[in-house]
Structure formats: C-alpha cells, structure tokens
C-alpha cells in the first residue's frame, strides 16, 4: 500500500471514528407540569393513607410487573358502600363498580414503550419505596407529576444506587 493510500485510509478512519463518537449532550431537566391533571373522580391520597392504606393496597403490581395498576372500583366500594355513599363522586364510583367499567383515571407517571421498566425489580427486588420515584404521595390531596422520570434522572439514581447504566439495561427487552 502506498504511503498516500495509507495516509488517506488513516484520515478516513479518523474521520469515521470522530463522527461515531458524538459528545454526550448536556442533561436537560424534564419540564414538569405546573398543575395536576383533572381526574374523573377526586381522590385524596393523603386522606386514604392516613386511614392506614398502603400504596400496594390500591396499586397492585401484577405480573409481569411492568406497571402498578389502578384500583378496582369494587375494592373502593368495600369501604364506600357505607362511607360517604351519598357523595356524587362515590355514586359515580359505585355505578362503575356495578357495571364493571373502570374509571378512566389519567395516568401521571409513565415511561415510553421502548424502555424496559419493571416496578417489580425496583420495588420488590431493589427495595425502593414508591416515594423514591413518585414523591411524597402520602402528603398529597391531589397528585401531579413532581419527580422527573427522564433518562438523566433515572441514570443519576442508578449511579447513586450502584445499578447498571449500560444502554441495553433499559433499552432492551429483558
């Protein structure tokens, strides 16, 4: 190989490698909503946790463990058949329970479909409390997203907890 060809090849290889290694962008803070979304039935987490209810009482983590679910209306009616049953909101809940049609709650926290996220691995396996990612829900009358769930915030937490930050850890089907 001539020295000119070798120099050109070396230059081309350097150019390709330089383009392939783009600098990591500066983290951008997630813009959180200024107010809570309007829910179809008002619900106070503060009031219900004060009665001794735990997160998993209403938000079970069902197999395969990717989401914490919404409460079944029939479970709510376990208490509300006699507690505040005259309330129009409870009557709406009772009607949904009777017809087995779920209340269309507005989800506050979610991750994109291309992210592998498991509530089971975070809550049960790693022992994280719900408040770690969702904030002090037990103190809230109305919920709004108050903690970021973007890639930067998740990677920061993983680094603090000693969990993997490899791309394929969250961007692959486990």
Q: What is the mean pLDDT of the chain?
A: 86
Domain of 62, in residue numbers? 45-70+105-170
- How do residues 93-111 score in pLDDT, each as one tens digit? 999 999 999 999 999 998 8
Residue 16: what pLDDT? 43
* pLDDT band for position 27 (cuts 50, 70, 90): low
Share of the chain above pLDDT 70, in %: 83
Q: Are 77 and 97 in contact (CB under 8 A)?
A: yes
Handedness of CA 161, 166, 167, 173 (dihedral sign): negative
What distance in Å separates the CA atoms of residue 88 and residue 109, rounded to the nearest whole number? 27
Domain annotation covers residue 14: no
- How do residues 30-59 score in pLDDT, each as one tens digit? 889 889 999 999 999 999 999 999 999 999
Q: How many domains, the chain?
A: 1
Domain annotation covers residue 4: no
């Amino acid at each position: 190989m001539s020295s000119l060809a070798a120099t050109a090849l070396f230059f081309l290889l350097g150019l390709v490698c330089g383009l392939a290694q783009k600098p990591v962008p500066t983290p951008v803070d997630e813009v959180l909503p200024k107010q809570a979304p309007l829910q179809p039935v008002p619900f106070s987490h503060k009031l219900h946790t004060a009665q001794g209810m735990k997160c998993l009482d209403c938000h079970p983590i069902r197999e395969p463990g990717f989401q914490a679910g919404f409460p079944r209306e029939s479970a709510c009616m376990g208490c509300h058949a006699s507690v505040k049953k005259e309330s129009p909101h409870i009557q709406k809940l009772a009607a949904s329970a009777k017809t087995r049609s779920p209340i269309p709650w507005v989800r506050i926290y979610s991750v994109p479909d291309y992210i592998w996220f498991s509530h089971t691995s975070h809550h049960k396996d790693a022992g994280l409390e719900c408040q770690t990612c969702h904030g002090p829900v037990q103190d809230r009358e109305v919920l709004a997203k108050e903690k970021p769930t973007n890639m930067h915030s998740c990677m920061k937490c993983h680094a603090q907890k000693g969990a993997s930050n490899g791309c394929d850890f969250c961007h692959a089907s486990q």
